[in-house]
């Protein structure tokens, strides 16, 4: 058994498959997920686990070179906006229309669904390398 870090076997396996430039969508409970990406659904109840907890846990394990979120987060979710600005200071965060972000989800290598119940709590992470 793993001593620390992400203990969920499906999420650990999904992370192990990632390489440089692969993308990971960390999403709220409401984002539509198309067929294609490997999906790890962590949603338990509304708000559990939170977007913040899952995202920060993933960032402890991943090298991320860029992030992309929906432009609409700025107007509709101040908590997620503050979190994203803190974790991905400019220019590391790109903002695109929500419809475009949903399209990008279909090209993600991994999708991690949280129980987050606040709108636009979604971010696409682009994997980097540790050297």
Confidence of residue 10 (pLDDT cuts 50, 70, 90): very high
Does 121 belong to an annotated binding site? yes
Q: What is residue 35's DSSP assignment? A: S
pLDDT of residue 115: 98
Dig out the tokens for 20 from the structure.
């440089």
- Alpha carbon 131 to its chain centroid, in Å, reads 22
Asked if residue 98 belongs to a known ligand binding site, the reply is: yes
pLDDT digits (tens, 9 = 90+) for 73-92: 999 999 999 999 999 999 99
11: left (phi over 0), alpha (psi -120 to 50) or beta: alpha
Q: What is the pLDDT of residues 41-76, one digit of tens each?
A: 999 999 999 999 999 999 999 999 999 999 999 999
Q: Report pLDDT for 62.
A: 97
The confidence score (pLDDT) of residue 2 equals 84
The one catalytic residue in 7, 9, 17, 20 is 20
Q: Which domains does the chain have, with CATH numbers?
A: 20-127 (3.40.1650.10)
Q: pTM for this one?
A: 0.97
Could you identify the residue written with the tokens 């294609």?
36
Helices (H), the chain: 9-16, 51-59, 73-76, 78-87, 98-105
Residue 76 appears among annotated catalytic residues = no
Q: Are 120 and 69 in contact (CB under 8 A)?
A: yes
Indicate whether 1 pLDDT > 90.
no
122 assigned binding-site residue: yes
Asked if 32 and 122 count as a contact pair (C-beta separation under 8 A), the reply is no
Q: Read off the pLDDT of residues 115-128 as tens digits, 9 standing for 90 and up.
A: 999 999 999 999 99
Angle, in degrees to the nearest 10, between helices 51-59 and 78-87: 10
């Amino acid at each position: 058994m793993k001593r620390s870090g992400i203990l969920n076997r499906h999420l650990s396996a999904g992370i192990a498959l990632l390489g440089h430039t692969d993308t990971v969508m960390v999403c709220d409970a409401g984002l539509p997920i198309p067929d294609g990406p490997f999906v790890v659904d962590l949603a338990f109840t509304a708000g559990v686990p939170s977007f913040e907890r899952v995202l920060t846990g993933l960032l402890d394990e991943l090298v991320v070179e860029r992030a992309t979120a929906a432009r609409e987060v700025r107007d509709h979710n101040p908590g997620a906006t503050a979190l994203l600005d803190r974790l991905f200071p400019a220019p590391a965060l790109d903002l695109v229309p929500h419809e475009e972000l949903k399209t990008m989800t279909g090209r993600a290598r991994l999708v991690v669904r949280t129980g987050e119940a606040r709108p636009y709590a979604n971010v696409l992470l682009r994997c980097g390398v540790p050297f």
